[in-house]
Structure 1
Amino acid sequence: MAESKKRISRDERRIIIERQLLAAAERLMADGASFTELSVERLAREAGISRATFYIYFEDKGHLLRQLTGQAFADFTDAANNWWTVVDRHDPADTESSVRGIIAAFREHQHLMNAVGEMASYTPGVADTLRALMDSVITEVEGVIDAGKAAGIIRSDLPSHATATALSWMVERTCSQVIPAGDPDYDEDLARAMTEIVWSTLYCTPLTGRPSQ
Structure 2
Amino acid sequence: MLDGRSHGLEARVFDAVERLLADGHRFEDLGVQRIASEAGVARSTFYVHFRDRSDLLVRLAERVTEPAFTAISRWVDAGTDGVEGLERTLVVVVAAVRAHLPVLHALSEAALRDPAVDELWSSRIDGLAAALQLRLLDERNLGELPSDVDPELLAQNVAWSLERNVARHVRRMRAADPVADARFATGLADATWRSLYGRVATV
Give the TM-score normalised by structure 2.
0.83
Cα 1:152–1:62, aligned 2, differ >3 Å: closer, same or farther? same
Cα 1:90–1:59, aligned 2, differ >3 Å: closer, same or farther? closer
1:147 to 138, 141, 157: 138
CA distance in 2 between counterparts of 1:175 and 1:79 reads: 14
What is the DSSP-based 3-state SS (H/G/I as helix, E as strand, rest coil) of the residue aligned with 2:171? coil
CA distance in 2 between counterparts of 1:62 and 1:165 reads: 26
Gaps of 5+ in 1: 1-7
- Contact in 2 for aligned 1:86/1:94 (Cα 8 Å): no
Give the TM-score normalised by structure 1.
0.80
Shift of 1:128: 2.1
**Match of 1:136?**
127
Shift of 1:152: 4.6
What is the DSSP-based 3-state SS (H/G/I as helix, E as strand, rest coil) of the residue aligned with 1:180? helix
Shift of 1:18: 4.4
**Match of 2:66?**
74
CA deviation map 1:41-99 (0-9, x unaligned): 33234345433321101121112112222223423211113312311x24322211221
Cα RMSD (Å): 2.5
Shift of 1:114: 0.8
Worse-superposed segment, 27-36 or 142-151: 142-151
- Contact in 1 for aligned 2:145/2:197 (Cα 8 Å): yes
- The 5-angstrom pairing of residues 47-58 of structure 1 reads 47-58=39-50
- Contact in 1 for aligned 2:193/2:199 (Cα 8 Å): yes
- Contact in 2 for aligned 1:21/1:47 (Cα 8 Å): yes
CA deviation map 1:104-132 (0-9, x unaligned): 11112211111111111122221222222
What is the DSSP-based 3-state SS (H/G/I as helix, E as strand, rest coil) of the residue aligned with 2:113? coil
Gaps of 5+ in 2: none
Q: Percent identity?
A: 26
CA distance in 1 between counterparts of 2:97 and 2:108 reads: 13
- Equivalent pairs, count: 200
